């Protein structure tokens, strides 16, 4: 039964029903729809619009339906249009006419906006938890390799030696920013549209503030037209997810490179690799590749929703129904990728010898020569020039920088005294990078301690939010 048949003399054409129908994908909003119905019911009762007896019957039926939806005993059928109509059918089947009472003062426009916010908050909390698990895996690996030197890259060329733990820890910072964005997103998403009605609010004595509080929202929408049309929280969520996806794609790319035969740094565990159907020797880092590849899909979902919202007239338009599938898909995608990447990170072993051997190669210590001259008060431009000449000499003779003789050094620049050998080691280069956020062992130790406390703070913050949310859902 449709929710709007009164003024129509004909049933909708099949094609109309087929295109309008959203229940096949919006059914996952059912628990949130039922929960917000309970909050709406409480307001209808306290304002005297429903008698306590009728209210009690509807409440019992809503709770029963909530249970049946959770167990799968109640599901949508072929003639239901969307989650809202399917649940009203469920209620009417139990209660007869009074099952339709809840529609008073409420429209599917404020209902769907409320449901979607609740769903998004729930899904975002689950996402935050998975991000934190990945961070914990990265921090543990960073600690394991906090004393392992490796060459670091810019432009994919050997640049300067770094500790490999420093290399791994950088990803935790990126994910911290994502968690920060999620925290901030909650401020704008925790606004209840319930009570906005179709677009103009309600003439009935409702209390949008009371339903907002009951549903755990920080406040109620300040403008009913904005209340039913605001989908910023969807776009923002899709951006946050895309950013996480982009971060995962960069982790994936690194893992792919490190696992090549040419690099030979990463030994991805068998349980996080796949084989080839034709080449028996192959062990492929497919998890890393999928992490890289899925980012495209996430950005696509963001782009689709922003394009749908662009120029959209205010209040409700059916275009808005297109907000759900991309949002669901993005959350679902991350829910698959995050644990796979966390598992891959936790189980990968790195070849310390190969990484250490790479650390001084490709003239990665050339900056040490320039810095040595700067400490001897030579202007950096000249120091850079002299260090460049050392590289040219070494390259011409196919030797490493430390193999240049004392005489050759002083011929390039008189201040290049034999003391230069003190800095021409990986250890010397690493130990000297003591600035905040630098790669020196002591600086890395401090960095990892800070990261650990930041990750635990996020963990405490989001688990408190999750507890409050599940408390609200089961109230």
Give me the residues that bind ligand ARG (CB under 6 A), please.
Answer: 22, 26, 82, 108-109, 112, 316, 318, 320-321
Strands (E), 47-91: none
Give me the least distance between CB of 26 and ligand ARG, in Å please. 6
- Separation between Cα atoms, residue 401 and residue 134, nearest integer Å: 39
Taking alpha carbons only, the member of 17, 191, 27 closest to residue 113 is: 191
For ligand ARG, give the closer residue by CB, 29 or 291: 29
What is the three-state SS of 102-157? Answer: HHCCCCHHHHHHHHHHHHHHHHHHHHHHHHHHHHHHHHHHHHHCCCCEEEEEECCE
At its nearest, how many Å lie between ligand ARG and the CB of residue 35?
Answer: 17
Distance of CA 409 to the CA centre of its chain: 51
Active-site annotation, residues: 155, 276
By C-beta, is 314 or 380 nearer to ligand ARG? 314
Q: Helix, strand, or coil here: 284?
A: strand
Collapsing DSSP to helix, strand or coil, 81 comes out as coil
Please, what is the minimum distance in Å from the beta carbon of residue 28 to ligand ARG? 12
Angle between helices 441-473 and 30-46 (to 10 degrees): 50
Distance of CA 31 to the CA centre of its chain: 23
> Which residue matches tokens 């003391």?
419
Query: Which is closer to ligand ARG, CB of 331 or CB of 462?
Result: 331
Give the residue with the Cβ less far from ligand ARG, 55 or 107. Answer: 107
| Shortest distance, position 89 Cβ to ligand ARG, whole Å | 15
The SS3 of residue 160 is strand
Distance CA 283, CA 301 (A): 31
| Nearer of residues 23 and 150 to ligand ARG, judged by Cβ | 23
Q: How far is the CB of 88 from ligand ARG (least distance, A)?
A: 12
**How is residue 9 annotated by DSSP?**
S
Smaller CB distance to ligand ARG: residue 194 or 337? 194
Contacts of 48 (CB under 8 A, 6+ apart): 205
Give the three-state DSSP class for 381. helix
**DSSP letter, residue 220:** E
β-strands 266-267, 219-220 pairing: unpaired
CA distance 85 to 328: 20
CB 90, min distance to ligand ARG, A:
17
């Amino acid at each position: 039964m449709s929710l709007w048949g009164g003024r129509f003399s004909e049933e909708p054409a099949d094609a109309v029903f087929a295109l309008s129908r959203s229940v096949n994908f919006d059914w996952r909003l059912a628990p949130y729809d039922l929960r917000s119905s309970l909050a709406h019911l409480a307001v209808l009762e306290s304002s005297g619009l429903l008698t306590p007896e009728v209210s009690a019957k509807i409440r019992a039926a809503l709770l029963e339906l909530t249970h049946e939806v959770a167990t799968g005993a109640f599901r949508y059928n072929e003639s239901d249009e969307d989650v809202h109509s399917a649940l009203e059918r469920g209620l009417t089947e139990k209660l007869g006419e009074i099952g339709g009472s809840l529609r008073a003062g409420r429209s599917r426009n404020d209902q769907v906006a409320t449901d979607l916010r609740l769903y998004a908050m729930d899904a975002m909390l689950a996402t935050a938890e998975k991000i934190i698990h990945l961070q914990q895996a990265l921090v543990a690996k960073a600690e394991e390799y906090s004393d392992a030197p490796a060459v670091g890259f810019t432009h994919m060329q050997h640049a300067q030696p770094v500790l490999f733990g420093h290399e791994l820890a950088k990803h935790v910072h990126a994910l911290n920013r994502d968690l920060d964005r999620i925290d901030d997103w909650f401020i704008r998403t925790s606004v209840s549209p319930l009570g906005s009605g179709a677009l103009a609010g309600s003439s009935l004595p409702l209390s949008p503030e009371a339903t907002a509080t009951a549903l755990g929202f920080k406040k109620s929408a300040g403008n009913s037209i904005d209340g039913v049309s605001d989908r910023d929280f969807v776009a923002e969520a899709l951006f946050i997810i895309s950013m996480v996806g982009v971060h995962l794609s960069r982790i994936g790319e690194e893992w792919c490179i490190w696992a090549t035969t040419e690099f030979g740094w990463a030994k991805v565990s068998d349980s996080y690799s796949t084989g080839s159907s034709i080449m028996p020797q192959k062990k492929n880092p497919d998890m890393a590749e999928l992490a890289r590849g899925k980012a495209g899909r996430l950005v696509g979902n963001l782009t689709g929703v922003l394009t749908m919202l662009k120029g959209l007239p205010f209040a409700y338009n059916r275009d808005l129904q297109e907000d759900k599938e991309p949002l669901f898909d993005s959350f679902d995608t991350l829910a698959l990728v995050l644990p796979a990447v966390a598992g891959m990170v936790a189980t990968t072993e790195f070849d310390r010898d190969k990484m250490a051997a790479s650390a001084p190669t490709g003239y990665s210590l050339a900056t040490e020569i320039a810095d040595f001259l700067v400490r001897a008060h030579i202007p950096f431009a000249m120091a850079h020039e002299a260090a460049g000449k050392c590289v040219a000499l070494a390259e011409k003779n196919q030797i490493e920088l430390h193999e240049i003789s004392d005489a050759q050094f002083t011929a390039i620049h008189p201040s290049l005294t034999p003391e230069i050998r003190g800095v021409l080691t990986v250890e010397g280069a690493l130990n000297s990078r003591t600035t905040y956020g630098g790669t020196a062992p002591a600086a890395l130790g401090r960095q990892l301690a800070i990261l650990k406390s930041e990750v635990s703070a996020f963990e405490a913050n989001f688990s408190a939010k999750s507890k409050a949310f599940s408390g609200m859902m089961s109230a």
